[in-house]
């Protein structure tokens, strides 16, 4: 109860940190003020080592336990916000026009800072805890940048853990699964090159609008008829652009979208078939399809033993009824995937309650989640590094 009481007593101060961060969001790697705030707090807590500029603007701190030598465990929070105009109406609404913490990274930072303060005071573990504050999760692959800067080797990290809030999952609840918990997310652009003409003379054209329409429908057959219905694959056409006038058949149409998968073999298959289908259909109509396919974050794949540990820790805090183990994967993506490729670990989902969804202009992190997140981080460190 001692740990719980101290964390609950301090949650309002941690919420103040969170609201300060919420009012001052920064994007991608340009998180200089955020990183400075984090580093100053970590210094005030008395961490043993603090390094800035890892992965351009990442912050890393080390807290050594007092129970002897032991492993090194990394705990990660992300720092960047989104280019979204906030409409939450909260008193701590973003002061930065066109930017907001619409994914809750302010809450992620605050919970890890709260855990850092407690762990630096108590140090009731062996080995070391490494606190990782990462930039550029929202499309910039900041996790990969930190890894390429030697994060794992320099700080001798042996296991690494992450956490993300989820709206609609109740406050005080956790969710986790072994294997892929989040999807790989790739993007593509298909340019259909046809031949333009007057709208009243379609026989003189190779109509790229018609070709693009066939491509859109055919790409869905990759999901519905070429992959196992029990294996998740999502192909989404998110934009179609071509033509400016209502009486002219354009010469080109561009399609863009995303492909989301949970397995490497299905990712490879989807990339191959997307190109084949688009080009074949274009050729059949006398047009040409240029396909650009860009791989984004890989799937976030939880390791078995570390997932068991994370689930055990969450259960010790909130009880078995509030921990969903073996949940269905989410088809969102997360660059913590790179850290799980580099070291064993687990990514857990924490409830944000009945709030607006992630990446929604009305979203705000729910401060009621703070004591549960801090307790999870503290218990995870003390359990993984128990004497």
Q: What pLDDT, in 10s, does the model give residues 12-47?
A: 999 999 999 999 999 999 999 999 999 999 999 999
Rounded percentage of the chain residues whose pLDDT exceeds 70:
98
**Of 112, 228, 222, 115, whose CA–CA distance to 163 is shortest?**
112
Mean pLDDT of the chain: 97
Q: What angle do CA 84, 89, 94 make, to 5 degrees?
A: 45
**What is the predicted pLDDT for the residue at 75?**
99
**What is the predicted pLDDT for the residue at 126?**
98
Q: Model confidence over 137-170: pLDDT tens digits?
A: 999 999 999 999 999 999 999 999 999 999 999 9
**What is the predicted pLDDT for the residue at 7?**
67
**What is the predicted pLDDT for the residue at 10?**
76
Determine the Cα–Cα distance for residues 218 and 196; give it in Å rounded to an integer: 23
DSSP code, position 170: P
Query: 240: which strand partners?
Result: 255
Determine the Cα–Cα distance for residues 212 and 191; give it in Å rounded to an integer: 9
Q: Model confidence over 183-221: pLDDT tens digits?
A: 999 999 999 999 999 999 999 999 999 999 999 999 999
Alpha helices (runs of H) in the chain, residue ranges in sequence order: 2-23, 32-45, 105-122, 142-148, 151-154, 208-226, 264-284, 304-318, 336-342, 370-384
- The values of phi and psi at residue 319, to 5°, are 90, 155
Q: In this structure, are strands 72-78 and 159-166 parallel, antiparallel, or unpaired? A: parallel
**Sequence-ordered list of residues with C-beta below 8 angstroms from that of 170, at least 6 positions apart, any chain:** 322, 351, 353
Determine the Cα–Cα distance for residues 292 and 277; give it in Å rounded to an integer: 13
**What is the predicted pLDDT for the residue at 6?**
67
4: confidence class by pLDDT, cuts 50, 70, 90: low
**What is the predicted pLDDT for the residue at 387?**
78
Q: Which CATH class is domain 2-181+299-384?
A: alpha beta
Rounded percentage of the chain residues whose pLDDT exceeds 90:
97
SS3 81: strand
Burial (0-12, 13-18, 19+ Cβ within 10 Å), 246: exposed
Alpha helices (runs of H) in 259-369, residue ranges in sequence order: 264-284, 304-318, 336-342
Instruction: Compute the average pLDDT of residues 360-381.
Output: 98
**What is the predicted pLDDT for the residue at 1?**
42
373 pLDDT higher than 50: yes
SS3 143: helix
SS3 303: coil
All structural domains of the chain with their residue ranges:
2-181+299-384, 184-294
- The values of phi and psi at residue 78, to 5°, are -100, 150
The CATH number assigned to the domain with range 184-294 reads 3.30.70.360
Q: Model confidence over 275-295: pLDDT tens digits?
A: 999 999 999 999 999 999 999
């Amino acid at each position: 109860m001692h740990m719980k009481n101290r964390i609950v007593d301090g949650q309002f101060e941690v919420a103040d940190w969170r609201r300060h961060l919420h009012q001052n969001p920064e994007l991608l790697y340009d998180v200089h003020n955020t990183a400075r705030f984090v580093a100053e707090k970590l210094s005030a807590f008395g961490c043993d080592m603090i390094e800035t500029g890892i992965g351009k603007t990442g912050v890393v701190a080390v807290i050594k336990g007092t129970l002897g030598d032991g492993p090194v465990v990394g705990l990660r929070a992300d720092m960047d916000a989104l280019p979204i105009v906030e409409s939450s109406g909260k008193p701590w609404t973003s002061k930065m026009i066109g930017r907001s913490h619409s994914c809750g990274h302010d809450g992620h930072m605050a919970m890890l800072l709260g855990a850092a303060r407690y762990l630096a005071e108590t140090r009731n573990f062996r080995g070391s805890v490494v606190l990782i504050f990462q930039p550029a999760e929202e499309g910039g692959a900041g996790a990969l940048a930190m890894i390429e800067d030697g994060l794992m080797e320099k700080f001798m990290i042996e296991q690494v853990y992450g956490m993300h809030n989820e709206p609609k999952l109740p406050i005080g609840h956790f969710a986790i699964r072994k294997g892929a918990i989040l999807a790989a997310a790739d993007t593509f652009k298909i340019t259909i090159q046809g031949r333009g003409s007057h709208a009243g003379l379609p026989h003189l054209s190779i109509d790229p609008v018609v070709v693009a329409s066939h491509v859109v429908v055919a790409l869905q057959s990759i999901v519905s008829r070429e992959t196992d219905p029990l294996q998740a694959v999502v192909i989404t056409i998110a934009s179609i652009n071509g033509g400016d006038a209502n009486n002219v058949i354009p010469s080109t149409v561009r399609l863009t979208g995303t492909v989301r998968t949970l397995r490497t073999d299905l990712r490879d298959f989807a990339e191959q078939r997307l190109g084949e289908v688009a080009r074949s259909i274009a050729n059949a109509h006398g047009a040409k399809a240029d396909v650009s396919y860009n791989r984004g974050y890989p799937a976030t794949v939880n390791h078995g033993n570390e997932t068991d540990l994370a689930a055990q820790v969450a259960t010790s805090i909130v009880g078995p009824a509030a921990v969903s183990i073996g949940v269905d994967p989410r088809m969102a993506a997360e660059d913590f995937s790179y850290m799980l490729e580099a070291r064993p670990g687990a990514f857990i989902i924490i409830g944000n309650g009945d709030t607006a969804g992630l990446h929604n202009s009305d979203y705000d992190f729910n401060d009621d989640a703070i004591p549960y997140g801090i307790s999870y981080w503290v218990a995870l460190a003390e359990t993984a590094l128990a004497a």
